[in-house]
Amino acid sequence: MEVFEHIGSVASSLIYFALGSRLTLLGARTRSGAEWLIGLTFLSWGAYYALWFLSIGLHSQSALEFEIFITARAIDCLGMACFAFFPLLAFRRGSTWAKWLAASLAICVIAGIPGSSWAGDPKGVSPLTNFWWWLEWLGSVGSGVWIGVEGIHHYGITRARVRLGLCEPIVGHRYLLWGLAGVFWTLLDIIVIGQYVDFWATQTWSSALENLVGLLEIAALAMVWLVYFAPAAYQRKINAPAASA
Amino acid sequence: METPLFDFAAQKLEQHTGFSQLEARGTLRIAVKSAGLEPKSLTVAELRVVLEKLMPGELEQRGVKDTLSVCSAVLRDLEDAPIAESDSDSSNPDDIFRRLAKA
């Protein structure tokens, strides 16, 4: 039973919908591109997980299952393009190299998903024969790596600001949580390669790898959850050293 | 590209220490960076903390005698001069990550 994968998908859908709604509303209020982009990303991920889960339930009606799955991939494509631009607006606004990197990652995703359909692999399950799959994967893993690196890098430089009282500990901690989420998303993308190679060799999806993917989804989600919905006691614990200083 | 605030503080540091322009800018840059800040987005409040808490140590390492009075002099100059503070346009990472949890 791929129990972790199913729990991970349902939890991901609900939490990403909730976060996406809140963040797009915040983006509308503050007119900040970063909030808009990550809000749209989370909404699209919520829709992707919901449709993906629905497609599993429609195994008996293969035509409808296919249409729903392709719709899910198209929505995911838009979300991943927004995701590629989030680190630019949140961490590297105005940087030329970051603009190029964000645009390149978005192009990889936008070209990769339709490209897979054009190459006869619309579901994107044949990485060994489909060049476009790798383009899509590169866009996805590149964004995850970038988020991870920026989060951990900013956590590192924020520690000095926290010590000097220039930044609240909880803000620095949020960078760390984002960095860890980026690490989990990256690991997830790497495990996915193993999944497809295993599928290619055995023509069955490995339960162990699906559970591992599910666990990584849950771990990334937990990090994102703590960024946005951290309980008061947790926030007090993080802020405690500064309060007592 | 540094802010006018950074340029002003470096110039005052040069005056009060006898450093060359290069030495003054380099010392200030090191202090700003070790506070986890960027010279291109420095604010007056941040610079004040750097001058109070980090700069005395940096100056002492470079053989400046009365480090506290040098820093106080630069701080006084800072208060007297109307310096255009760099944009704190609520789009720096700290502001974004501060807002995110309040959505």
Phi, psi of A148 (to 5 degrees): -60, -45
CA A55/CA A66 separation, integer angstroms: 7
- Which residue numbers in chain B have pLDDT < 70? 1-2, 83-91, 101-103
Interface contact A223, partner B, CB < 8 A: no
Interface contact A171, partner B, CB < 8 A: yes
Q: What confidence category does residue A245 fall into, taking pLDDT thresholds of 50, 70 and 90? A: low
Measure B97 CA to nearest chain A CA, in Å. 6
User: Which residue among B34, B94, B98 sits closest to A160, beta carbon to beta carbon?
Assistant: B34
Residue A111 has pLDDT above 80, yes or no: yes
Is the ipTM of this structure higher than 0.85? Answer: no
- Average of per-residue pLDDT values in chain A: 87
Q: Across chain A, which distance is largest between two alpha carbons, in Å?
A: 63
Q: pLDDT (tens digit, 9 = 90+) per residue, A127-142?
A: 888 899 999 999 999 9
Interface contact A167, partner B, CB < 8 A: yes
pLDDT number for residue B11: 92
Q: Mutation test of the interface with chain A: which of B3, B47, B97, B102, choosing the one with the most A Cβ atoms within 10 A?
A: B97
Interface contact B22, partner A, CB < 8 A: no
pLDDT number for residue A104: 96
CA A51/CA A43 separation, integer angstroms: 12
Q: pLDDT (tens digit, 9 = 90+) per residue, A192-232?
A: 888 888 888 888 888 888 888 888 988 998 998 898 888 88
**Mean predicted confidence (pLDDT) in A109-116:** 89
Task: Please give the residue of chain B at the shortest CA–CA distance from A178.
Answer: B97
Structural element, H or E, at residue B46 = helix B44-49
The encoded tokens of residue B21 equal 């322009």
**Mean predicted confidence (pLDDT) in A83-101:** 93
| Domain count within chain B | 1
pLDDT number for residue A109: 92
- Average of per-residue pLDDT values in chain B: 85
B47: domain range? 4-102
Measure B31 CA to nearest chain A CA, in Å. 11
CB atoms inside a 10 Å sphere around CB B44:
15
Three-state SS annotation for chain A: CCHHHHHHHHHHHHHHHHHHHHHHHHHHHHCCHHHHHHHHHHHHHHHHHHHHHHHHHCCCCHHHHHHHHHHHHHHHHHHHHHHHHHHHHHHCCCCHHHHHHHHHHHHHHHHHHHHHHHCCCCCCCCCCCCHHHHHHHHHHHHHHHHHHHHHHHHHHHHHHHHHCCCCCHHHHHHHHHHHHHHHHHHHHHHHHHHHHHHHHHHCCCCHHHHHHHHHHHHHHHHHHHHHHHCCHHHHHHHHHHHHHC
Are B101 and A175 an interchain contact pair (Cβ–Cβ within 8 Å)?
no
Task: Please give the residue of chain A at the shortest CA–CA distance from B44.
Answer: A166
Q: pLDDT (tens digit, 9 = 90+) per residue, A42-85?
A: 999 999 988 888 877 766 667 788 888 888 888 989 999 999 99
The encoded tokens of residue A132 equal 């476009």
**Mean predicted confidence (pLDDT) in A157-177:** 91
Measure A6 CA to nearest chain B CA, in Å. 27
